Amino acid sequence: MKSNRVRKGGGRPKDLGAGLKYSSQPQNSNGLEEGVEFLPVNNAKKVEKRDPRRRAVLVAVVVAVSLLSLTAGFLVWHFQYRNARVQTVFNGYLRLTNEKFLDAYENSSSTEFGSLAGKVKDALKLLYSESPVLGPYHRESSVTAFSEGSVIAYYWSEFSLPQRLVQEAERVMARERVITLPPRSRALQSFVMTSVVAFPTDPRMAQTTLDNSCSFALHARGQEQTRFTTPGFPDSPYPARARCQWALRGDAEAVLSLTFRSFDVAPCDERGSDLVVVYNSLSPVEPHALVRLCGTYPPSYNLTFLSSQNVLLVTLITHSERRHPGFKAVFFQLPKMSSCGGTFRDAQGTFSSPYYPGHYPPNTDCTWTIEVPGNRNVKVIFRQFFLVEPDVALGTCTKDYVEILGTRYCGERPQFVVAGNSSRVTVRFHSDQSYTDTGFLAEFLSYNSSDPCPGMFTCKTGRCIQKTLRCDGWADCTDYSDEKNCKCNASHQFTCKNEFCKPLFWVCDGVNDCGDSSDELGCSCPAETFRCSNGKCLPKSQQCDGRDDCGDGSDEATCAKVSTVPCTSRTYRCHSGLCVSKANPECDGKQDCADGSDEKDCDCGLRSFSKQSRVVGGQNADVGEWPWQVSLHVQGQGHVCGASLISPTWLVSAAHCYADDGGFRYSDPAVWTAYLGLLDQSKRSAPGVQEHRLKRIIRHPSFNDFTYDYDIALLELERPAAFSSVVRPICLPDATHVFRAGKAIWVTGWGHTQEGGTGAVVLQKGEIRVINQTTCEKLLPQQITARMMCVGYLSGAVDACQGDSGGPLSSVEADGRIFQAGVVSWGEGCARREKPGVYTRLPWFRSWIKDQTGV
């Protein structure tokens, strides 16, 4: 047995408190100093009485020692800190007013470059020497580039500054200054440099540390696109600990458009992530940064950036050893906009921020004047609005903004309307010098002020919505004005305290639907008891006691401590055979089973792209957003059903898709073709799409063609799928996994976009909510079995439809992993009120899937 007793006679006691006194006597053989006395604390006075002179000496010694240590401390602080030298690198630029640009200035090894750079360095040295804060500490300066227009020189200067002067030096360097050198003997003109500014920079990006093999200068050729990539792209990953830069130039009167066509660098993490920064300058200075990028973007993501003049700088700093291919980019030049904005005199029209949906350029101001004809008013509908900039306090629009009728708008906003009360409105757009975004797309209309939305309901925001959306429990006007002042229909609606009407079956479902929780009040249990997810009230002492007292596991599901509990049908069983109290512990990033089996086989449910495109209209899915979604085609019929990829060779789908019908042999694997990695049905030969034949179809033996009970099938591919950024498997939930009522889940497919309509060309996605089983049974009486679950909205609107069958319900679970909650099975029509879609519950079939496929 291990014991923690201290060894006898070992070492000196560290701190024995106030009663301890050390003498300078030699140590005894125990290692303790001889003469050490352990005095009782209350004995201190007795010691003093022994010798009053000794007390005075002691006080003097203490004072002297304190003074000495204070002085020493000050000196240490003064020399070590205040006077400690800090290497500071400033990056900056300046304008050379009397200089004509020569092409040779773009080549840093030309003699012309060297000669002009020499003059700039001399001038900088002179400038610094005039400042006591800078002169004595200036180490070195270097010119990195020149650009044309009025000639601009980009440079860095290194200082070794005492800590106490760093802030002052930063202030002086950031102040725009002018330097004039008198004409030299051979030069007729004086050498004038204006707008001399510089900012402290990440020293890693200073030229001294830049690897020359990773520094590129590119000039746009005519109207052509120039392509550049990270080293080794796409076959080998970019190097770790690299410092790369691409200086992009155009002709004097041009601006540049830069697009990243492919972008895959290491994921963004707090510290030390790999980073790409684009600057609207050839100096890597923060005030001119346009964007900072890391992670992975799908090809559809808009990564186009515009400069405000004829240069851009792209830098890459890498740390990680993780293997990512990097980026591929193109740029080209285009004439500078002569003006921005305009005057409209029509009854309706559209306008947008410059270069929309590319990122608008910095330093831009545009004004649109809208004057509608007749005696009507103007309203402006902002369909898309993205003016996000870092470090802007919420509610203030201090950097980029749109100003209309005296109000400034910025940030990211859902569609909104600004309605004026006259026939004329002015819209102003402003972008400052740093960080740009996609901008806005707006439409203007004229309207009759006495009837702004003919035949429709007018939101307080000015938006027009269908009258049927009023008082339906959903906020269709972003300001909730369609849900205010409603008279709820007691037969199927609940009146919230805030007077919103919500469907009755949302009451006591554990979700705050009213917004003021009034739909969840009165559902609570008496004091000292808690409410199970199934509504039961139990004593609090039974919560987290390791036993399933609720009967649905909810009393044990969210306990801080995961304990081993007796196994039931609702507890997760580890490979060891032991069961844990936690609900849904599989692949949640935390080891809950002692043998780690809950975190095994978790290579599923993740997308390749860390960034998702912003939804620009509709609910089209994005490339790689649902990489497990499969489209099943029948020759001559096209897309018929959906399915999901669960392993390289197995798909999950709905059994009813593979039942013979009207003499057609849907049960024959040979009639089917599976398309993996597909987004657009019209682009089945697009890169990344895989076409597979089926080897086997296993319909669940209990599938009932009449009730659609056990509506699940397994499809085996003839050859394994190759996983890629657009082909990946979804996670299968354990048999005990709970998708609780109210949880938001995604349904995807190419099914009809309306009941009786036609199939979608681009994969569609819709967010719906799990409906509790009792409500489900009430809404679809005598049709729901334990294998089925209702998911959707009682107001209709979002639902699966014909052609979505067999597709997955994707549920984002702990740790961001996506699990398949169900399979699209059936419904009474599509998107009808109070008729949600019905789905086959996946957890019910977990062991059957394992038995049939080994997955």
Q: Contact positions toward ligand 4AZ, by CB under 6 A?
A: 799-802, 804-805, 824, 826-827, 830, 837
User: Can you tell me the distance from the alpha carbon of 791 to that of 773, in angstroms, rounded to the nearest whole number?
Assistant: 10
- Chain Cα centroid distance, residue 256: 27
Nearer Cβ to ligand 4AZ, position 361 or 837?
837
The rounded distance, in Å, linking the Cα atoms of 309 and 819 is 48
User: DSSP secondary structure string, 625-661?
Assistant: SSTTEEEEEETTTEEEEEEEE-SSSEEEE-GGGGS-B
Interacting residues of 308 by C-beta distance below 8 A, sequence separation 6+: 255, 280, 361, 362, 363, 364, 433
Bridge pairing between strands 690-699 and 672-676: antiparallel
3-state secondary structure of 227: strand
Question: If residue 58 lies in a helix (H) or strand (E), which one and from where to where?
Answer: helix 52-76
Nearest residue to ligand 4AZ on Cβ basis: 827
| CA angle, 764 then 770 then 774, to 5° | 140
**Residue 499 CB coordination number (10 Å):** 16
Catalytic residue among 288, 430, 633, 656: 656
DSSP of 710-735, one letter per residue?
T--EEEEESSPPPP-SS--PPBPPPT
What would the two tokens of residue 84 be? Answer: 């400690």
* Cβ-based neighbour number of residue 136 at 10 Å: 14
Closest CA to 669 of 698, 640, 711: 698
Shortest separation between residue 711's beta carbon and ligand 4AZ, angstroms: 10
Give the C-alpha separation, 854 to 437, whole Å. 48
CB of residue 811 vs ligand 4AZ: minimum separation in angstroms? Answer: 18
Q: 52-61: which pairs have CB atoms within 8 A and are 24 or more residues apart?
A: none
Distance between CA 129 and CA 649 in Å, rounded?
A: 73
* Contacting residues for 65 by C-beta, under 8 A, at least 6 apart: none
CB of 800 to ligand 4AZ, least distance (A): 4
> Rounded distance, CA 386 to CA 343, Å?
23
**Which residues are within 8 A (CB) of 208 and not within 5 positions of it... i.e. 6 or more apart?**
89, 142, 158
Tokens of 614: 């912003």
In angstroms, what is the minimal distance from the CB of 835 to ligand 4AZ?
A: 7
Catalytic, 656? Answer yes
Strands 493-495 and 501-503, sheet pairing: antiparallel
Give me the amino acid identity at 299: P
Query: Does the active-site annotation cover 549?
Result: no
Nearer to ligand 4AZ, 609 or 666 (CB): 666
- In the bound state with ligand 4AZ, the residue whose beta carbon lies nearer, of 122 and 755, is 755
List all residues 6 or more positions away from 573 whose beta carbon is below 8 Å from its beta carbon. 567, 579, 736
Q: Which one of 588, 711, 799, 804 is the catalytic residue?
A: 711
Q: Report the C-alpha dihedral over residues 782, 787, 788, 789, rounded to 10 degrees.
A: 120
Backbone angles phi, psi at 250, to 5 degrees: -130, 180
The minimum distance between CB 834 and ligand 4AZ, in angstroms, equals: 12
Tell me how many degrees the CA angle 811-768-500 measures, rounded to the nearest 5. Answer: 135
Is residue 776 within 8 A of residue 789, CB to CB? The reply is yes
The two tokens of residue 675 are: 């398309």
Alpha-carbon distance of 636 to 651, in angstroms, equals 22
Catalytic residue flag (residue 281): no
CB count in 10 Å sphere of residue 18: 10
Count CB-CB contacts under 10 A for residue 91.
28
Q: Are 230 and 316 in contact (CB under 8 A)?
A: yes
Question: Do the strands 377-387 and 416-419 form a parallel or antiparallel pair, or are they unpaired?
Answer: antiparallel
Give the strand order in the sheet containing 364-371: 341-344, 364-371, 424-431, 401-404, 407-409
Q: Rounded to the nearest whole angstrom, what is the least distance from the CB of residue 591 to ligand 4AZ in the complex?
A: 38
Please compute, for residue 717, the number of CA atoms within 13 A of its CA located in the half-sphere on the CB side. 23
3-state secondary structure of 531: strand
| Given the residues 805, 810, 811, 825, the one annotated as active site | 805
Residues 6+ apart with CB under 8 A from 58: none
Q: Which residues are catalytic?
A: 656, 711, 805
